[in-house]
Amino acid sequence: MKILGESIKKDFPIFNDSKLIYLDNASTTQKPKQVLDAILSMYNETNANVHRALYDIGSAATERFEDSRKKIAAFINASTEKEIIFTSGTTESVNLISHTLGNSLGPDDEVLVSEMEHHANLVPWQMACERTGSTLKFIPLTEEGELDLNEPEKYFTPSTKIISITHVSNVLGTVNPIKKIAKMAKDIGAIFIVDGAQGVPHQIVDVENLGCDFYAFSGHKMLGPTGIGVLWGKMDILQSMSPFMGGGEMINSVSMQTSTWNDVPYKFEAGTPNYVQAVGLGAAVDYLSSFGMEKVKDHENELTQYALDRITQLKGIKIFGSPMHRSSVISFNMEGIHAHDLAQFLNEDNIAIRVGHHCAQPLLTSLNQNSVARLSVYVYNDSSDIDKFCRSLSNIRKYF
């Protein structure tokens, strides 16, 4: 289990001379020195606004910014880097679509999501449906925590105009059948959006192969900085869409009466972009690519299965969801111990996990839970982290 894990922890300054066991990677990930160096280099060497300055450091900043766009396009196999729109994260990416395509909905139209969605892929569609009078529908879940697609005709109808589904549940770890849903969406002529916040960091994502129309993800969940994310979209759809925000580089020409828009992707990047963070995300892509995402996935799968085997040996543990295809997330509760108390006791052993509703309140309601504990691993975790976590759980059980 040393494919990655302890062999790369030296790259992450937060672990230097630290006893930290960080198991909250579905929330955010730690940053390797390579990413931090890229960010610092931008500020120290080429700090200038992009796409504006003709002087040398401005040109260098623009080149590094656009080079990151190319890296990200290659990372997810976009047909062109022009399909990569920089946003502040998955939340803004989904809101961009809900305020552009979403505003074209009418009272006879339907938007389809699932019962496992993060609030960021639910609330924007609630707001869009409220604005337009359209109807929001939900795909329910099976007892195993998978999408119940046994009666698709109940959800995929001629009235369905937009489908927005998470690639991977941030609570259950369920990996959804995106290619299958993409075909179902195409068969009814619906636009298909994928929330890939928990997808891109953990597996190979090929947007051309998946068959979706949009794919959104966040940099900070894949070793990159906060404040930067991506919306990938098919070029023909992006060209037909109206801008989300106005101002700055999203314009072509402006008069006192009217304006015309810049080309894609700049039409959707109003104002000064998060160019330093974008370069940091490019460095994170380089770092992950140095291993290969197949290796990342194999490491996480092995470690997640090891964690499941260890945790299920403990008394009084209830694990939520048993999907056939699982990512690196395990949500659970310990009988007789509130999840918040559990997290505080784990913190005494320098172990960081997440507890709460995980921005997925409807899903927790369906599980009849107010709060659950969540373990989530990443490239720098290893079996010793899981062993220490399980020893701490055992000691907490004895204490109570």
Residues with a catalytic annotation lie at: 359
How far apart, in whole angstroms, are the C-alpha atoms of residue 391 and residue 260? 62
Extract the tokens encoding 257: 């009466």
| Short-list 117, 22, 30, 31, CA closest to 376 | 22
| Short-list 156, 108, 112, CA closest to 133 | 108
How far apart, in whole angstroms, are the C-alpha atoms of residue 77 and residue 169? 23
The DSSP symbol for 242 reads: P
User: Is 164 within 8 Å of 112 (Cβ atoms)?
Assistant: yes
Q: Which residues pair with 215 in a beta bridge?
A: 194, 232
User: Is 34 within 8 Å of 20 (Cβ atoms)?
Assistant: no
User: Which one-letter amino acid corresponds to residue 353?
Assistant: I
Q: Sort 292 into a burial class: Cβ within 10 Å, 0-12 / 13-18 / 19+.
A: exposed
